[in-house]
Amino acid sequence: MLLSSGAPASGFLLGGTAQLAQDPENPANDVIVIRTDVSPFYGTVSRTLNVQIALLDNMLEFKSFFQNRSCGGGSPRVQLAIDLNGDGVPDGNAFGYTGPPFAGCPPNNWQYDDVTDALPRWDLSQFVVNGFPPTGAICSTPPFSTDPAICPFQTHSGYIPWNVFKTVLSTLFPLHKVCSGALIDDSGWFPPADGTAFYDLFSAGRATWEDQFDIAGRGFAMGCGRPDDGDREVDGDKDHDHDHDADDDKFDSDRRERWKN
């Protein structure tokens, strides 16, 4: 079932186990709850963006509350579907994680993440095959090698800061478009982070999820001229972008290798 018709442009779509809930510390506050210990073991909050990356500065952020659990295993994350050449088809996803070391978040306490800050949070590995330089090669690639605004830069686990991500993407792919943005928790595969989490004040571009009135329906925002998809599972869709391709197997393999210890 498609959910695009009639949905407000600023509305957010909920998918998987994501549901409206109340703040565990303040019942007067609407929040979103995601459970990764019950089927389908993930939840998403998504919105169409259709903008270039420079327009998202200071507009990708969220609050999280991990109930008797932690973060880790690649969750939670802000996920951006990006069309590199303007043909309307996303070429992959960029993943922006809760801050380094990406695990060990204190339970039962609200925390805030701005994924456009200066911390090395962003995984661009899905775009290397299309010409985005690997992390270790960015500062030896002209014109970035002589740009003191980005090189040298701090890395962590192969991830890069937002400003580096934004500059490289805008320079090498001037026709790019960020199709959609999603807040995703799929920690069900990783026991230390499995369970219940609450999310609030998720900003994705020019809209912020604040309460029940910001919910446009259920499904997943696709963007770039494509209709929103229904609230459904796609076989083999490991990164939960409602598409199954070779990137899914690599995404799952990489995170399991990253978190095997």
pLDDT at 238: 95
Question: Using CB atoms within 10 A of its CB, is residue 195 exposed (0-12), middle (13-18) or buried (19+)?
Answer: buried
pLDDT at 31: 99
pLDDT at 1: 32
pLDDT at 260: 82
pLDDT at 10: 65
Ranges of residues in the chain with a pLDDT under 50 are 1-8
How many whole angstroms separate alpha carbon 83 and alpha carbon 249? 20
pLDDT at 9: 53
DSSP code at position 92: E
pLDDT at 189: 94
pLDDT at 77: 98
How many whole angstroms separate alpha carbon 157 and alpha carbon 122? 10
**What are the sequence ranges of the domains in the chain?**
12-258
Question: What's the predicted TM-score (pTM) here?
Answer: 0.95
CA–CA distance from 150 to each of 3, 153, 160, 161, 178 (Å)? 40, 6, 10, 9, 21
